[in-house]
Chains A and B, each alone.
Chain A
């Protein structure tokens, strides 16, 4: 029983930290600080994956979200004119209400979807009571135990197999979406030679006091 209590306390602590980090992301006035809070939130999610014994997912979460996505975010912030990230970042007035409505709708959809999750017919029930299967085979164990034991012990292989069988469609669609986003980003960033010549040179276009690190003032 002691292990359950410890697990519950750990879960509550991690979830509370995650909520604090999420609030910090939304409420920070400084963009770089907001991005760092987001990193903290991603890390809490990875911790929750570890608690669910999904170490593979935890490693992937750290590798992709913290190691690539958040770094690109910070990179993007630092390459803009607002280098220090300390311009005010609050949502402007007329967009507040639509933003609130959209957020609440997403929340409702997620709550509904998570509470009513169904497994495809024929597959083992992944939702519901999560019980760790015993590591050795026992007589009279339920049918899902063998499959779940395999999943815990060799998660990389199982995740890969699921991607190529049950979730092949979703996997390909996500890939298509990412490719479209990539092409769109290139199209936005790419300007042909004539257009580039007409643009004002960006360095001179900066206001004198914005985005200047302190080092210049000293020199």
Chain B
């Protein structure tokens, strides 16, 4: 019995690793296509045309081969162990967050638990903890590179990530208060019975999504790498697959953040008028739930990519002002107000 459980978990891990890595390859293509559209270009359209495939569907293969076959330069003046460790930290911390993310229905009477570690009662705390480790990849890369640009990039990013972790953590507390649990399945169940998180916690959603941009180093907040000032920032000295691993880690982070957004604020697998409940467990219902959650995640990712070509980069003092002077106070107000309302409702309503 336990052996089969173990084998099932290993299969789930392999599938999720494979699927997410493949998704990342195609997300890069999607991003390039969106970038081209935003800039009135055509974008990649050749790879795959030889085999009759439309829209450069083989471009990810070409990109991957390029990353693997390029010369892997390790400069003489770097601190070698840390220089090699940093990209691994970036990719591993981005990967292990998926351990507690539910990809579909999870529960005792479901067909399969769509989660590697089902029903972890502190799932969200785990995601936050793992996410806070990601900064080590960046700061170590910057320090070990022994290069001014890389070093400044690393310092900038550590300050930025520490600052935005606070509103990120505080903005979800309101939602957790409402749902009364750190378990993501319970949060989805609460939303399917009451209302989507974005409706009951609009301020929390905006704060969370904004800090998520900062945590993933996406464009309005991409000061750690800003090409124009820092020649690429912390990964200036990295080449070939080591650079590719940073890239991969960044996109994996985007997927994780989108999943958390969908689960916390967009109702998870819930859609109004479909009549799905946490208990419904037929084959069609299960497929519907998985389809809805991945569809919503894809929408969130598209939204994140769209923002990139809409907003210019912040100046550094503006970035810090935004976090400390407006987002953290707003998150505190949101938390206190939610706690007060929850207490009033629980006292006088039922």
Contacts and interface: CB of A to CB of B under 8 A. Distances in A.
Contact of B122 (A32, A36, A56): A56
A63 B129 contact: yes
Interface residues of A, number: 28
Contacts of B182: 156
Contacts of B254: none
Given A32-B143, A59-B126, A215-B148, A67 B165 contact: yes
Interface string A63-96: 1001110011011001100011000000000000
Contact of A67 (B122, B133, B147): B133
Interface in A136-178: 153-156
Contacts, number: 78
A213 B126 contact: no
Contacts of B140: 36
Given A56-B125, A154-B121, A39 B159 contact: no
A55 B120 contact: yes
Contacts of B162: 68, 71-72, 75
Contacts of B143: 32, 74, 78
B59 interface: no
Nearest to B131: A67
Contacts of A72: 162
Contacts of A110: none
A186 interface: no
Contacts of B77: 214
For A66, A154, A215, which residue has the most chain B Cβ atoms within 10 angstroms? A215
A60 interface: yes
Contacts of B120: 55
A72 B146 CA distance: 20
A67 B155 contact: no
Given A56-B125, A68-B165, A74 B147 contact: no
Contact of B135 (A56, A60, A63, A71): A71
Nearest to A78: B155
The dominant DSSP class at the A interface is helix
Interface string B144-164: 001111010011001101100
B147 A215 contact: yes
Given A60-B125, A74-B139, A154-B121, A214 B155 contact: no
A75 B125 CA distance: 24
A146 B120 CA distance: 20
A87 B325 CA distance: 37
Contacts of A74: 139, 143, 158
A62 interface: yes
Contact of B136 (A39, A63, A215): A39
A156 B154 CA distance: 34
Interface in A183-219: 213-216
Nearest to B135: A71
A94 to B, nearest CB: 32
A56 to B, nearest CB: 5
Nearest to B82: A36
A28 to B, nearest CB: 13
B146 A213 contact: yes
A80 B148 CA distance: 15
Contacts of B82: 36
B125 A63 contact: yes
A63 B82 CA distance: 22
Nearest to B128: A63
Contacts of B159: 75
B155 to A, nearest CB: 6
Interface in B176-200: 182
A66 B133 contact: yes
B132 interface: yes
Given A32-B143, A63-B132, A156-B182, A79 B125 contact: no
Nearest to B130: A62
Given A56-B122, A75-B158, A62 B151 contact: no
B122 A59 contact: yes
A62 B136 CA distance: 12
A214 B132 contact: no
A162 B44 CA distance: 58
A213 B125 CA distance: 38
Given A153-B121, A155-B122, A156-B122, A66 B132 contact: yes
Interface of A: 32, 36, 39, 55-56, 59-60, 62-63, 66-68, 71-72, 74-75, 78-79, 83-84, 153-156, 213-216
7 contacts: A36-B140, A67-B129, A67-B165, A78-B143, A213-B148, A214-B146, A215-B149
What 3 A-B pairs have minimum CB-CB distances, sorted nearest first? A67-B132, A62-B129, A63-B129
Given A62-B130, A68-B162, A71-B135, 11 more contacts: A59-B122, A60-B129, A67-B133, A67-B135, A68-B165, A71-B139, A72-B162, A84-B146, A154-B121, A155-B121, A215-B146
